Amino acid sequence: MSSSKEVIINVLMVSPGLQGHLNPTLNFAKGLASKGIHVTLAIPEETRQRFQNLNNKETNSHHHNKNPSNIQLEFFSDGLSVDHDRSNDPANFFAFFETKGAENFSNLITHLKETDRSFSCLIANPFMPWSVDVAVSHGIPCAMFWPQASALFSIYYRYVCKTNRFPNMENPNETLQLPSLPTLQVRELPSFLLPSCPPYHKKLVTDFERILDKVKWILGASVYEFEEEIVNSMASLSRILTIGPVVSPHLLGKKESEDFDELSANLLTPEDSCLRWLNDKTSSSVIYVAFGSLMELSQKQMDNIAIALKNTKKPFLWVIRPQKGSAAAELSQEFLEETKERGLVVTWCPQGKVLMHPAVACFVSHCGWNSTLEAMTAGVPVVALPNWSDQPTNAKLVEDVFKTGVRMRFSKEKDEEDEVVSAEEVERCIMEVVEGPMAEEIKVRALALKEAARKAMANGGSSERNINQFVTEISGKLN
């Protein structure tokens, strides 16, 4: 119980357990907590183990619980046993999450109300549309934390609300023109809109339309100055309050508080060996390669990237997450042997700190929104290898809107069933951003966006003003 004289504003946030959602949600929670808002963050029970592992590894520290006093973690079951492999049967997972997960989340809110916590707002996640219905049933005003680019919100909104004509989605080469966006090919749209998309992801898109009316605020994890025209073009349809970049304060040149540091960095202990290794490298010399927590490369694609890295003759840091299953791609011993003097391959690294390191020249990325934002906030040029969801659209934005990098082009290689990026294409794109005719321009642009990101989060900046406006509005919702 709080003994504070002033009224405490309680906000409830909810996030899926996926790292790509959890990290920005945690960073946003920290931002709200710094404004004196009390944040309760509700996350699936299966993530509890990761948080406990973190605390166990820190038993030597005198802080056993690293939660800042203004952020409280609560857990609810998604309806499946903790050790169930959710990635193996996503259809089943989504079905349970929507029914049992919603029920358990609602019970959690009831329990929290009984402990004298009334919430001024629920900040929902679009990948958990049912959480909005739960908030409405409890009479809690609802905001949506949009964890992708504002351009993606615009595309989804215009698609589900039918404000614009969309082409035949069967043909990847068909084009589409939307306000304030470059001409998009169907292959550059988010994969959730394509015919190949599985039904459980399609349902997220249709549910998105259903919940839009119930949401009072759209809080976008982008920076107004990055997507000014796009945000303005949505103002009359659905106003987006940009509150980004929702990245670790370290990336904004601020000191990261001890609280939640490793947690929001990656929910794993950092491998400082990466940073020590980078310290020995010259400025802007290292190619950093990482494809997020979900993307799995085919053996052919991994081989092509390896050949390209070898051919650039430049130092590289490559993060390859351990993959499950017999088909997991592996680097050849020959490659590791040939490049051991200038390459470092690790299973994880503190990405924010790596991107901020002066030795890093470019980031070869899957172009998930978190990684894209981190790269722009760090002023690092990007070489995009997009896979699914919002990544193809983000790669298009990087090349044609933000102009902070290039994207690789896929092609069919002989004897290959799926399209891959050739070794020549990987090498060409890396060299283009590192020392091609456009390299200087790309670097200047990347540094300009780094500056814009810092200004947006500083006093009086666009994101700071939007966060303050949101806080003022939810404070006024109290009876």
Report if residue 256 sits inside a domain.
no
Q: What is the mean pLDDT of the chain?
A: 90
**What mean pLDDT is predicted for residues 40-69?**
63
Co-location of 348 and 399 in the same domain: yes
Instruction: Give the containing element (helix H, strand E) for 218.
Output: strand 217-220
Domain limits for position 377: 270-453
Q: Which of 448, 471, 463 is nearest to 224 (CA)?
A: 463
Total structural domains within the chain: 2
Say if 447 falls within a structural domain.
yes
Report the run of H or E that residue 392 belongs to, with start and end.
helix 391-400
Task: Indicate whether 108 pLDDT > 50.
Answer: yes
* Count of Cβ atoms closer than 10 Å to residue 14 Cβ: 27
For the entire predicted model, the pTM comes to 0.93
Are 293 and 332 members of one domain?
yes
Give the closest residue to 287 by CA, choosing from 451, 445, 437, 429: 429
Pair 216, 275 in one domain: no
Give CA separation, 166 vs 11, 52, 148, 239, in Å.
37, 46, 21, 22
241 with 331, same domain: the answer is: no
Q: What is the pLDDT of residues 291-337, one digit of tens each?
A: 998 898 999 999 999 999 999 999 999 999 988 777 789 999 999 99
Domain of 232: which CATH number?
A: 3.40.50.2000
Q: Is-contact 402 394, C-beta < 8 A?
A: no
Reported confidence tier of residue 212, pLDDT bands at 50, 70, 90? very high
* Together in a domain, 233 and 274: no
Residues 158 and 33 in one domain: yes
Q: How remote is the C-alpha of 369 from its chain's centroid? A: 4
Q: Is residue 261 part of a domain?
A: no
8 to 319, 331, 474: CA distances (angstroms) = 43, 53, 12
Question: DSSP string covering 159-192, please?
Answer: HHTT-S----TT-TT-EE--TTS--EEGGGS-GG
38: its two tokens: 């009390």
Decide if 262 is inside a domain: no
Band the pLDDT of 259: cuts 50, 70, 90: very low
Residue 14 has pLDDT above 60, yes or no: yes
At 189, the amino acid letter reads L
Q: Tell whether 156 and 291 lie within a shared domain.
A: no
Question: CB within 8 A of 132, min separation 6: which ones?
Answer: 122, 124, 142, 144, 211, 214, 215
Tell me whether residue 5 is in a domain. Answer: no
Given its phi and psi angles, is residue 73 left (phi above 0), alpha (psi -120 to 50 degrees) or beta? beta
pLDDT of residue 67: 54
pLDDT digits (tens, 9 = 90+) for 391-448: 999 999 999 999 999 999 998 776 667 889 999 999 999 999 999 999 999 999 999 9
| Partners of 136 in beta bridges | none
C-alpha gyration radius of the chain: 22
Whether residue 382 is predicted with pLDDT greater than 80 in this model: the reply is yes
For residue 165, is pLDDT > 90? yes
Same domain for 234 and 290, yes or no, is: no
Please indicate, yes or no, if residue 104 is contained in any of the structural domains: yes
For residues 161 and 302, state if they share a domain. Answer: no
Q: How many residues does the chain have?
A: 479
User: What's the Cα-to-Cα distance from 232 to each of 176, 227, 235, rounded to whole Å?
Assistant: 19, 9, 5
pLDDT at 4 exceeding the cut of 90: no
For residue 226, give both structure tokens: 């990055």
Inside any domain, residue 4: no
387 domain-assigned: yes
Say yes or no: 182 and 330 in one domain: no
Residue 66: per-residue pLDDT: 47
Tell me whether the omega of the peptide bond preceding residue 245 falls within 30 degrees of 0, making it cis. yes
Q: How many Å apart are CA 48 and CA 67, to the nearest integer?
A: 13
Q: Is the pLDDT of residue 257 over 60?
A: no
445 and 465 co-located in one domain: no
Q: Are residues 341 and 468 in the same domain?
A: no
